[in-house]
Amino acid sequence: MTQENRAKPGPKRRAPAPKPITKPRARSAAGVREIFTRFEAANPEPKGELDYVNAFTLLVAVVLSAQATDVGVNKATRKLFEIADTPQKMLALGEEVVREHVRTIGLFRTKAKNVIALCEKLIAEFGGEVPTTRAELESLPGVGRKTANVVLNIAFGEITHAVDTHVFRVGNRLRIAPGRNVLEVELGLEKAVPAAFGRHAHHWLILHGRYTCKALRPECGRCIQNDLCDSPDKRIS
């Protein structure tokens, strides 16, 4: 068979392009209001579960809570905060002593180093006081946007939305603020949550995600939002 008579290979078939990830449709303003009305009726004054005695110890506790449970952080900080409730006292303890107090928390070496470093910066640049703006808070070692939002909300009463894994999950499942990442969900919450509920919104969402709307086995049977939820993750008994 001559080269001319050989069958020519056909064009290669291209794999189909992946479908774009689409966000769920956001819930109506009336629907969002109903969700938070129910949260408020069930728990009018929700509280964060980290123990603290002032803005400084709150800041330290939130820094330590990254990739750790609030219960674990509280156990580690109980004695620490009894002897060091200011940046000056914490700095005087030194990194090694702080490290020993928090060694039961994940990433404790890095976190102890950050705690000492943020104490140094608080003293040098902020007169030993916890700053009251997001930009200043995020300038501190170990402090990111979520930590800054928690401190601004709890310590200073600002309406902020700290998006952790629970808030991200509930914001998407209930379609309050659908988003593909935490920033999208945070900005969505800023627009969607009525001002009357803004102060406590992220607490309600965290607690709901932690104890009811769980990641793997959501307890839909006892959920106060059950009839409003159309998430594909919903468990129908």
Which DSSP category does 16 fall into?
P
> What are the helix (H) ranges across the chain?
29-42, 55-64, 70-83, 87-93, 95-101, 108-126, 134-138, 145-156, 165-173, 182-192, 195-198, 201-211
Among the listed residues 111, 164, 233, 234, the single catalytic one is 164
Among the listed residues 12, 146, 227, 234, the single catalytic one is 146
Distance CA 151, CA 137 (A): 9
Whole-angstrom CA distances from 232 to 36, 172, 218 are 21, 11, 11
Q: Which residues of 118-139 are buried (b: 16+ CB within 10 A; e: fewer)?
A: bbebbbeebeeebbeebeebee
Decide: 95 and 116 in contact? Cβ < 8 Å: yes
Coil, helix or strand at residue 54:
coil
Contacts of 68 (CB under 8 A, 6+ apart): 105, 106, 107
Distance CA 20, CA 225 (A): 29
CA atoms within 13 A on the CB side of 84: 22
Residue 121 falls in the annotated catalytic set: no
Residue 146 falls in the annotated catalytic set: yes
Joined together, the tokens standing for residue 134 give 């997001």
Let me know the angle formed at the C-alpha of 122 by 98 and 202, rounded to the nearest 5 degrees. Answer: 85
Q: What amino acid positions are annotated as catalytic residues?
A: 146, 164
